[in-house]
C-alpha cells in the first residue's frame, strides 16, 4: 500500500477508480452535493485534499470517530477489482464510502489518492528495500543487494517482506524463477562506437541486431504459453499466433525466452518500425484481423529458464547456444536473433551496417561470460545506435486547445525522470494527427489521458505520469521555464510506448550527457 497498490505490480487486478467515481463517493461520505465537491476540486486541484478538507468540516459538526484499520482498507479495496456487471458502480461507491465515513481528514486524503492511483508520497521500491534491510539486518548494504535480487525475480514486495521479516536472508535464496510469474527484463547501457563496445564487453563477444520492436518475455509450460511485456503486463491474449509458434517450434517442456517482437510488411516482408505495430499491444478486440494486418516476427535472443531449471546464473554463451539448439527458426514467425560472434572490428562494423540497412536500430554487443541480471541496466550488454535525437518521455500535463481543437488537449507537457521525481522538459503539439484514421490523434490521446487527470485549472491539466511517448527533437537547450532546467527544441511526437513504463524513460543524467555531447560537437565540428 505504500506504493499505492493492493497487489503486486504485474497483477492485473487494479483499484481503478476514476476521479468521477471518487467525487461521487466523497460527496456521499461527507453529505455534500457533487457540484460542491467538483468546485473544491477546481480550487484545490487535488481530490485527496478535497476529501481532507470536507472531512474536517464534517467532523467538526458531527464529532464522531471511528477506527480505520489497514486490514479493513485492504479488504474493501481488494473487493473493487472483482466487481462486475450490473450495479457495479453502486457497489464500488458503497465500499469506498464505508471507508471514507470512518476516516480522519488525513486518512481521507491518502485514501482518496490511493483510490485514484495518485498517492505521491515519494516512496519507491528502492525505499522499501532499504527500509527492510535497515529494519531486519545489521549488514544493511549487502543484504539490501540480496533483497533487490529477490525482488527482481519475484516482483512481489509483500512476498519478499514475509521472508525478510524473519531476520534471515537465507530464505531469499529460495525465491525461484517461476513459470507464469513475470521476471524483469535485463536492460542495456549505451556505447557510442563498436570500438568502445569491444572495450567494455571484451573480445570476442556476441553482436546481434537491435530490433526496433517491443520486448516480449515468453513463458512456456507444456502447451501453456504466457507472454509478458517489459512492464510485466500479460499480453497473451493479444498475440495468439505467438503462442502457436512457441508450441510448434520450441522444443522444451518448460522455458522462459527473452525476445523482441518486430513488425513486418505482409507483402514486401520488410521490417517496419515499432510505431506501426504498437496498437497490437493494448488491443482487446479484432485480434485476428490485426494479426493478419500487422504481422510480427519473434526474435529470440535469450533464455532464462529451461526444463525446470533457472539459467540466470549460466553464461550468455551457453544460453545463446541453447536457443539455437531448441528453437527451430522459421522466418516471419520465430527466429534466433541475427548474431555473429567475433573479435574482429571490421566484421563487427559490417554487421552493424547490415543491421541499419535492414531497417533495424543498430546492434547489441554482449559479453559471452555474463549472467542474466533481471531488472538491471548492465554494462555487459550494450546498445549501439547511430546518433539519433530521440527520447522516451512521460506525459505529465497538458493544455486544452482552441477553435476546432477545443475539447481536445492539443499540447502535452513532457517530463524526464530524476530518481523518483518527474521533471518537465518541454511541450509537444506536433506529430499528432487531426483524424483518428491517420495515426495517433489529439482526440485519441486526450481520451487516454483523461482518466489520469489529477488537477484542472482553466485550460491546464496535470496528468499522472503513466503514458510514455517517443519524441524526436532538434536540440536540447538550457531553460529556466521547465523544472528539469532543460527544454527540447522542436519536439515531435513519433509513437506511443504502451510497452514501457515511467521508470523506463530518459533520465535527467542522460539528458545532461546528451546536452554535453551536443556542445562538444559544436566545438569540433
Q: Which of 260, 297, 314, 424 binds ligand AMP (CB under 6 A)?
A: 260
Rounded to whole angstroms, how far apart are CA atoms 408 and 447? 8
Q: Which is nearer to ligand AMP, 185 or 508 (CB)?
A: 185
Q: Which is nearer to ligand AMP, 47 or 183 (CB)?
A: 183
**24 classed as catalytic:** no
Residues from 375 through 394 that contact ligand AMP (CB under 6 A): 383
Q: Which of 151, 201, 334, 364 binds ligand AMP (CB under 6 A)?
A: 364
Q: Is 188 in the site for ligand AMP (CB under 6 A)?
A: yes
Rounded to whole angstroms, how far apart are CA atoms 365 and 342? 10
Q: Is 208 in the site for ligand AMP (CB under 6 A)?
A: yes
Give me the least distance between CB of 63 and ligand AMP, in Å please: 56
Tell me the window of 38-46, 203-211, 325-333, 440-448 that interacts with ligand AMP (CB under 6 A): 203-211
Q: Total number of residues binding ligand AMP (CB under 6 A)?
A: 14
* Angle formed at CA 432 by CA 427 and CA 438, multiple of 5 degrees: 175
Rounded to whole angstroms, how far apart are CA atoms 367 and 335? 21
Q: Which residues of 223-234 are buried (b: 16+ CB within 10 A; e: fewer)?
A: eebbbbbbbbbb
The kind and range of the H/E element at 147 are helix 140-154
Give me the least distance between CB of 323 and ligand AMP, in Å please: 11
Radius of gyration of the chain (CA): 25
Rounded to whole angstroms, how far apart are CA atoms 348 and 350? 5
Rounded to whole angstroms, how far apart are CA atoms 59 and 47? 18
Instruction: Tell the burial category of 519 from Cβ atoms under 10 Å away from its Cβ (0-12, 13-18, 19+).
Output: exposed
Q: Which of 337, 367, 454, 470 binds ligand AMP (CB under 6 A)?
A: 337
The three-state secondary structure class of 443 is helix
Q: Which is nearer to ligand AMP, 188 or 303 (CB)?
A: 188
Q: Is 211 in the site for ligand AMP (CB under 6 A)?
A: yes
Q: Is 215 in the site for ligand AMP (CB under 6 A)?
A: yes
Residues from 295 through 314 that contact ligand AMP (CB under 6 A): 301
Q: Which of 49, 153, 210, 448 is catalytic?
A: 210
Rounded to whole angstroms, how far apart are CA atoms 438 and 24? 37
Instruction: Tell the burial category of 18 from Cβ atoms under 10 Å away from its Cβ (0-12, 13-18, 19+).
Output: middle
Q: Is 191 in the site for ligand AMP (CB under 6 A)?
A: no
Give me the least distance between CB of 208 and ligand AMP, in Å please: 4
Q: Which is nearer to ligand AMP, 21 or 200 (CB)?
A: 200
Residues from 93 through 122 that contact ligand AMP (CB under 6 A): none
Helix count and strand count (H, E) for the chain:
17, 20
Residues forming the active site: 210
Interaction site with ligand AMP (CB under 6 A): 185, 187-188, 208-211, 215, 230, 260, 301, 337, 364, 383
Amino acid at each position: 500500500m505504500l506504493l499505492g497498490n493492493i497487489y503486486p505490480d504485474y497483477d492485473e487486478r487494479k483499484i481503478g477508480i476514476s476521479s468521477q467515481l471518487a467525487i461521487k463517493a466523497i460527496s456521499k461520505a461527507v453529505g455534500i452535493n457533487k457540484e460542491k465537491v467538483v468546485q473544491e476540486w477546481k480550487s484545490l486541484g487535488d481530490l485527496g485534499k478535497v476529501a481532507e478538507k470536507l472531512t474536517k468540516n464534517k467532523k467538526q459538526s458531527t464529532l464522531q470517530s471511528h477506527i480505520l484499520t489497514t486490514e479493513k482498507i485492504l479488504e474493501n479495496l481488494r473487493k473493487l477489482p472483482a466487481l462486475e456487471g450490473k450495479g457495479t458502480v453502486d457497489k464500488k461507491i458503497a465500499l469506498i464510502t464505508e471507508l471514507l465515513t470512518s476516516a480522519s481528514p488525513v486518512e481521507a486524503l491518502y485514501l482518496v489518492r490511493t483510490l485514484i492511483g495518485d498517492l505521491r508520497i515519494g516512496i519507491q521500491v528502492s525505499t522499501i528495500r532499504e527500509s527492510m534491510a535497515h529494519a531486519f539486518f545489521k549488514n544493511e548494504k549487502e543484504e539490501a543487494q540480496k533483497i533487490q535480487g529477490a525482488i527482481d525475480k519475484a516482483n512481489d514486495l509483500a512476498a519478499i517482506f514475509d521472508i525478510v521479516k524473519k531476520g534471515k536472508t537465507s530464505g531469499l535464496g529460495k525465491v525461484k524463477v517461476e513459470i507464469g510469474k513475470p521476471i524483469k527484463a535485463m536492460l542495456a547501457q549505451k556505447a557510442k562506437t563498436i570500438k568502445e563496445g569491444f572495450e567494455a564487453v571484451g573480445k570476442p563477444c556476441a553482436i546481434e541486431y537491435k530490433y526496433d520492436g517491443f520486448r516480449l518475455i515468453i513463458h512456456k509450460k507444456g502447451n501453456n504459453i504466457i507472454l509478458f511485456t517489459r512492464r510485466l503486463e500479460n499480453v497473451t491474449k493479444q498475440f495468439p499466433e505467438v503462442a502457436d509458434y512457441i508450441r510448434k517450434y520450441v522444443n522444451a517442456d518448460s522455458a522462459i525466452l527473452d525476445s523482441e517482437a518486430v513488425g513486418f510488411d505482409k507483402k514486401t516482408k520488410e521490417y517496419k518500425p515499432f510505431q506501426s505495430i504498437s496498437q497490437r499491444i493494448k488491443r482487446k478486440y479484432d485480434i485476428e484481423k490485426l494479426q493478419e494486418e500487422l504481422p510480427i516476427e519473434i526474435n529470440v535472443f535469450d533464455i532464462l529458464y529451461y526444463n525446470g531449471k533457472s539459467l540466470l546464473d549460466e553464461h550468455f554463451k551457453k544460453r545463446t547456444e541453447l536457443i539455437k539448439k531448441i528453437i527451430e527458426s522459421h522466418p516471419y514467425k520465430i527466429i534466433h536473433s541475427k548474431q555473429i560472434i567475433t573479435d574482429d572490428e571490421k566484421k563487427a562494423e559490417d554487421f552493424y551496417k547490415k543491421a541499419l540497412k535492414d531497417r533495424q536500430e543498430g546492434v547489441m554487443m554482449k559479453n559471452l561470460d555474463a549472467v542474466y541480471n533481471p531488472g538491471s541496466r548492465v554494462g555487459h550488454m550494450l546498445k549501439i545506435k547511430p546518433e539519433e535525437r530521440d527520447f522516451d518521455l512521460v506525459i505529465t500535463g497538458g493544455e486544452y486547445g482552441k477553435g476546432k481543437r477545443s475539447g481536445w488537449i492539443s499540447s502535452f507537457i513532457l517530463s524526464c525522470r530524476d530518481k523518483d521525481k518527474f521533471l518537465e522538459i518541454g511541450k509537444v503539439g506536433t506529430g499528432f494527427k487531426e483524424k483518428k484514421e491517420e495515426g495517433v490523434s489529439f482526440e485519441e490521446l486526450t481520451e487516454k489521458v483523461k482518466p489520469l487527470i489529477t488537477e484542472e485549472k482553466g485550460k491546464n491539466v496535470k496528468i499522472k505520469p503513466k503514458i510514455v511517448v517517443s519524441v524526436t527533437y532538434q536540440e536540447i537547450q538550457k531553460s529556466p521555464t521547465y523544472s528539469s532546467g532543460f527544454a527540447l527544441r522542436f519536439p515531435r511526437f513519433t509513437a506511443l510506448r504502451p510497452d514501457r513504463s515511467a521508470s523506463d524513460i530518459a533520465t535527467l543524467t542522460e539528458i545532461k550527457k546528451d546536452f554535453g555531447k551536443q556542445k562538444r560537437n559544436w566545438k569540433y565540428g
